[in-house]
Amino acid sequence: MTARVGWGFDAHRFAHTGAVLLCAVVADDERGVEATSDGDVPAHAVADALLGAAALGDLGAVFPSDDSAWRGADSMRLLAEVNARVAAAGFRPASIDLTVIAQSVRVAPHREAIRTALADCLGIGREAVSVKATTTDGMGFLGADEGLAAVAVAVLEG
C-alpha cells in the first residue's frame, strides 16, 4: 500500500452578502466571502490537499475561476468531484487535518458538524477528520478581520 500526503490552502476576502460556510456549515449568516463558487474556504483547502496528494493539479486547474460554470457552485459538490477523481487515480483519503484561520469566525461551535460533513463527503470515518482553528492575533488581513483562510493536509492510501 502506498501513502501520499498533500497540502492545501485557500483564502478569501469577506463580502457584504451571503454566508460564511465551513464545509457547508453556516458559521456566519451576516456576511459571505468574495468567490466564484459559494466561497467555502475550508472545503477548497481540503480539495487542494487531496488533489496535491494524488498529483492531480490544483483546484484552479480543475475548476477554473474564469469559467462561468462554477459561478455560485456548491463547494462540497466540488469536493465530492475531487474525491471521485482521487478514487479514479487509485487512492482514497485516509485522514484529513484542517485548520481554519480567522479572527472573528468561530469554529468551535461548528467543529463536530464540520467533521461530519467532511467525513460524509469523503466516505471516511469522523475519527479520521481533524478540525482546528486559530487566529493571527491581529496581524495582516486575517487579523484585521477582512477575510478568512484555511490550510489542510490530506493523507491518501492507494
pLDDT for position 37: 92
- Rounded to 5 degrees, φ, ψ at 153 are -120, 135
pLDDT for position 119: 98
Measured between alpha carbons, how far is 156 from 93 in angstroms, rounded to an integer? 4
Which residues lie closer than 8 Å to 82 by C-beta, 6 or more apart?
Answer: 47, 50, 51, 56, 59, 62
Tens digit of pLDDT at every position of the chain (158 positions): 789 999 999 999 999 999 999 999 999 999 999 998 999 999 999 999 999 999 999 998 999 888 888 888 999 999 999 999 999 999 999 999 999 999 999 999 999 999 999 999 999 999 999 999 999 999 999 999 999 999 999 999 99
What residue type is 123 in one-letter code?
G
Is the separation of the CB atoms in 58 and 52 below 8 Å? yes
Is the separation of the CB atoms in 25 and 113 below 8 Å? yes
C-alpha cell at 4: 501520499
How is residue 14 annotated by DSSP? B
List alpha helices for the chain, DSSP H.
41-53, 59-62, 75-88, 111-122, 140-143
- What sign does the dihedral 120-62-11-19 (CA atoms) show? negative
Ordered DSSP codes for 88-138: HTT-EEEEEEEEEE-SS---GGGHHHHHHHHHHHHT--GGGEEEEEE--TT
